[in-house]
Structure 1
Amino acid sequence: MKKDSWNKYKENHVTDEKFWNKLVKFGKQIGEKTVYYSLLLYYTAKSPTVPKSSKMIIVGALSYLIFPVDAIPDFIPVVGLADDSAVIAAAVYKVFQHIDDHIKNQAKEKLASVFGDTSDS
């Protein structure tokens, strides 16, 4: 995909609103760990120090999470969100070296503010 095409795709399909809507709607179903990993990716993508190649991995993974039609549709109980979780975990593994303590703290704070205190889990 050419750079201009990628930017148009990203602008039209990968939005903060779609990301937050998906997390709020399916957060409990995909589980705390996947929500946390998704937040790690989200905040890592916002960091100006992260290289574009890593950001493309993140955008791809978050796009997969957001996009309603994927390998296993999300409406299928249990397994419908398992593929989304696997993609998110793989992306975290690929960009882990760019996830610093500040990003981890942002993700933990957002997880707690959106889904309540999760420190006992």
Structure 2
Amino acid sequence: MNEVLYGEILGPEDDDRREKRVRSKFWGTIRKAARAIPFLDEVVAAYYCALDPATPPRVKGTILAALAYFVLPIDAVPDLLVGVGFTDDITVLLAALSIVRAHITPAHRKAASDALADEEPSWPGGR
């Protein structure tokens, strides 16, 4: 199972493919994890940072790897375990956020705030 997780999250997959996976599962996972992650606004801001073409590739890769781990249904601690399911995801997200925080702009935070306030999240130039 560790090989599957490694290959799915950190393997040689290119950022475009990882981005597509994150985009397709992000909002559904956010809905499930909303109560478990106290810094949800920063996670969504990081998501928008990763989608921003101006974000440096290394930063984008770090965010996408953390978000891929977050949206992957099978991980070290299954997300279905009430109370502890998202603890590993929180750890990974906090580590990634501490690395990339300087690249999350006020525009990313505004988009996150708007998205969390609305039912239909958006980003200039498409979703």
2:98 counterpart of 1:90: no
Sequence identity percentage: 30
C-alpha RMSD of matched pairs (Å): 1.9
> Which residue in the other structure is 1:45 paired with?
50
Distance 2:16 2:51 in 1: 18
2:75 counterpart of 1:67: no
TM-score, normalised relative to structure 1: 0.78
The verdict on how the C-alpha distance between 1:38 and 1:11 changes in structure 2, with shifts beyond 3 A counting, is closer
TM-score, normalised relative to structure 2: 0.75
Out of 6, 17, 24, the residue aligned to residue 17 of structure 1 is: 24
- What letter matches 2:56 in structure 1? P
Out of 37, 46, 49, the residue aligned to residue 31 of structure 1 is: 37
Q: What runs of 5+ residues in structure 1 fail to find an aligned partner?
A: 115-121
Structure with the largest fraction of helix: 1
Q: What runs of 5+ residues in structure 2 fail to find an aligned partner?
A: 1-10, 120-127
Deviation, structure 1 residue 106: 0.8
User: Which runs of at least 4 in structure 1 moved beyond 3 Å after TM superposition?
Assistant: none
What is the DSSP-based 3-state SS (H/G/I as helix, E as strand, rest coil) of the residue aligned with 2:14? helix
